[in-house]
Amino acid sequence: MNEKIRNVAIIAHVDHGKTTIVDAMLKSSNTFRDNSKVDNCVMDYNPLEHERGITILAKTTAINYNGYKINIVDTPGHADFSGEVERIMNMVDGVCLLVDAFDGPMPQTRFVLKQAIYYKLPIVVVINKVDRPNCDISRCIDLLMELFIELGASDSQLDFPLVYSSALNETSSLNQDIASQEKTMEPLFDTIIKYIPAPNGDKNNDLQFQPSILDYNKYVGRIGIGRVDNGVIEVNKTYTCVRNDGSTVDFKVQKLFTFHGLERVDVDFVEAGDICGIAGLSNINVGETVCLQGKNNPLPQLRIDEPTMRMSFGANHSPFSGKEGTILTAQKIGERLYEESQKDVSLRFLQENNNESFVVIGRGELHLSVLIETMRREGFELQVSKPEVIIKEIDGKECEPFEELQIDVPDEYAGNVMNLVGSRNAENIYMNSENGLTRLIYIIPSRGLISFMNPFMTLTKGNGIINHTFKEFRPLINKNIGQRNNGVLVATDQGQATAYALKSTEERGVMFIEPGVNVYEGMIVGENKYQNDLAVNVVKTKNLTNERSASKDTTIVLKSPRRMSLEDCLDYIDSDELVEITPKSIRMRKKILNTAERKKYEAHHQ
């Protein structure tokens, strides 16, 4: 049975086409019925994944091809979710490394490839997007070879097979010539079967099953997904789980399933070599081992990525609380965070002393903002603080996380970008200019990346690309890094913003709102030209006289306000500010709303 199974992970830099190629593989293998309607990026179930074009959590699927069962794990590409990739290496027997024919290897390519080489896995290289204009496939392969050598690949890994594809067009070929592309993924399937070995577990040995991914279901609790390394696991049978701390617990497997296409298939048993999900132990965790009763033989524990970012989540207490959302209480926020922490091993939370808010700890700004956006769409109202990095004590010294930052910008912006990054205590380790583009690589404190995107995109007029991956903890730099340079314009009154008031206010800086927007005292409505905060009245109306009519206001021409997304707001706020999030609105506000009280507090704490 094992000989007919292949377990493979699809790994790549963000946006190099992992999920799209899984789509193409599912369609090419006739996994879907002819009459079923299939969307693009079917593996990204979450609407946010579709909108952002990123995979957030690893997902498993399986296809049948020429009598073989190929289990495929689609992994995230973004640095904030890299812990998922590392754990998945433990449940597969080989990887497909996808590389964009135009971009070549990128920062996350290095990270995911490093993991595959470390775990000594065979690697099939797929050069994707070969139909992109001006792509240089030979150069891409040369750069890949250099990267393999640099990362210490073995001789067998260096002798990697190559498949060329255009996942979007569902075509592939074993030939570099784009004219040889055919509308099928069979060359890829054949290469996987030929070069990636069957799992080496034995169904006649004692059971060993280790979850590498978690899922959560309200009815059965946590679900552990992983590979059965040895033995057979059966439904309704009692087993022992060896916990990460060495303790044991007996439990009964209530539900057992394998994968086919997008469906989970309930089964009575699963044999060694196959990937499955089990339910029955409500607090099963990644890296624990399920064994036969009385025959404890735990597998090596899996490394779980350390969180690097924290922020506070609390119930919304603004004057507009309860007007747009349906889930308002701190208790409900706590329940939702618990549910999320059950399936996301990188997320943790603690209740703060006031019982109205929670400290939420995660892998990065994107990791946390995706959770906030998901809750917002579910009807939650909440207020969150500025993200902060986690400081750890190592060998008696305070240490902070550092990241490797890669920046690609047109040459004309390189100087300004270098000044910006330099002001955030970054150390340049590489610089190269080619074809009008400059590539810069830095080691930068994670603090330096908070509030970085706004000035970076402004400086490069939207033409810059940044990627970063966690590197290590280093001694804390005692400097204020990445503080906002400008103060903000703060509303003094509650009401509806008027064109008349905004016209005189916009001379003070940049507005975030337009006429007709409801505001309250303490809400941030714009950015000041100068470093200090400024209290402004944006709701005042013109005094009407016999000579002046209200219709005169229609001639007022205002500049377009700056549009702020959720990530922009989290990046932008300072430590004395919050972001208020509801299903319909995202507002920035001061923690102390009352203007007089706030000024008194600031005067006392200067």
Question: Nearest to residue 128, comparing CAs of 9, 6, 24, 7?
Answer: 24
Query: What's the pLDDT band for 225 if we cut at 50, 70, 90?
Result: confident
Question: Nearest to residue 14, comparing CAs of 82, 101, 96?
Answer: 82
Q: Are residues 176 and 113 in the same domain?
A: yes
pTM of the model: 0.69
- Report, as an integer, the average pLDDT of 399-416: 87
User: Which CATH number is 150's domain given?
Assistant: 3.40.50.300
In a domain, 449, yes or no: yes
Q: Are residues 225 and 259 in the same domain?
A: yes
In a domain, 408, yes or no: yes
The Cα 397–Cα 65 span in angstroms is 55
Give the best-scoring range by mean pLDDT among 13-17, 356-360, 368-372, 556-560.
356-360
Query: What's the pLDDT band for 42 if we cut at 50, 70, 90?
Result: very low
Query: What's the pLDDT band for 34 if we cut at 50, 70, 90?
Result: very low
CA angle 376, 382, 388 (to 5 degrees): 100
Q: What is the mean pLDDT of the chain?
A: 82
Q: Which tens digit of pLDDT belongs to each residue from 93-121?
A: 999 988 888 888 876 677 778 878 888 88
Q: Are residues 599 and 506 in the same domain?
A: yes
In a domain, 450, yes or no: yes
- φ/ψ of 50, rounded to 5, equals -65, -45
In a domain, 314, yes or no: no
Q: Are residues 239 and 113 in the same domain?
A: no
Q: What is the Cα Rg of the chain in Å?
A: 27
Question: Nearest to residue 168, comparing CAs of 189, 188, 187, 183?
Answer: 183
* Among candidate residues 130, 161, 195, the one where a domain is terminated: 195
Q: Are residues 506 and 469 in the same domain?
A: no
- Report, as an integer, the average pLDDT of 594-601: 87
* Lowest-pLDDT range of 239-253, 449-463, 530-544: 449-463
User: Which CATH number is 251's domain given?
Assistant: 2.40.30.10
Q: Which tens digit of pLDDT belongs to each residue from 428-448?
A: 998 988 878 888 899 998 888
Q: Tell me what pLDDT residue 521 has.
A: 92
Sheet of strand 509-511: strand arrangement: 509-511, 524-528, 488-491, 534-536
Q: Are residues 167 and 70 in the same domain?
A: yes
Q: Are residues 57 and 181 in the same domain?
A: yes
Q: Tell me what pLDDT residue 48 has.
A: 46
Q: Are residues 258 and 164 in the same domain?
A: no
Alpha-carbon distance values, 368 to 249, 334, 373 (Å): 32, 15, 9
Q: Are residues 277 and 421 in the same domain?
A: no
In a domain, 163, yes or no: yes
In a domain, 350, yes or no: no
Q: Which 3 state secondary structure label does DSSP give 230? A: strand
CA torsion through residues 212, 213, 216, 219, sign: negative
- Report, as an integer, the average pLDDT of 392-408: 87
In a domain, 361, yes or no: no
Token pair 């400081």 is found at 391
Q: Which tens digit of pLDDT belongs to each residue from 279-289?
A: 888 888 888 88
Q: Which 3 state secondary structure label does DSSP give 307? A: coil
* Among candidate residues 475, 507, 529, the one where a domain is terminated: 475
Q: Are residues 27 and 176 in the same domain?
A: yes
Q: Which 3 state secondary structure label does DSSP give 195? A: helix
SS (H, E, C) 260-294: ECCEEEECCEEECCCEEEEECCCCCCCCCEEECCC
User: Which CATH number is 416's domain given?
Assistant: 3.30.70.240
- Copy the structure tokens of residue 65: 């091809």
- Is the predicted pLDDT of residue 10 greater than 90, yes or no? no
Query: What's the pLDDT band for 78 if we cut at 50, 70, 90?
Result: low
Count structural domains, the chain. 4
Token pair 């609407």 is found at 47
Q: Which tens digit of pLDDT belongs to each residue from 252-268?
A: 988 888 888 777 888 89
Neighbours of 90 (CB within 10 A): 19
User: Which CATH number is 596's domain given?
Assistant: 2.40.50.250
Give the best-scoring range by mean pLDDT among 80-84, 176-180, 263-267, 528-532.
528-532
Query: What's the pLDDT band for 524 if we cut at 50, 70, 90?
Result: very high
Give the distance from CA 100 to its chain's centroid.
20
Neighbours of 37 (CB within 10 A): 5
> Which DSSP string do the residues of 10-46 spell out, in sequence order?
EEESTTSSHHHHHHHHHHHTT-S-TT----SSTT--S
Q: Are residues 451 and 525 in the same domain?
A: no
- Is the predicted pLDDT of residue 183 greater than 50, yes or no? yes
Q: Are residues 251 and 143 in the same domain?
A: no
- What whole-number percentage of the chain has pLDDT above 70? 88
Element (H, E) at 148: helix 137-150
DSSP assignment, residue 321?
Answer: T
Question: Nearest to residue 212, comparing CAs of 232, 197, 229, 235?
Answer: 229
In a domain, 331, yes or no: no
Q: Tell me what pLDDT residue 130 has.
A: 85
Cβ-Cβ contacts under 8 Å for 34 (sequence gap 6 or more): none
Structural domain span for residue 459: 392-475
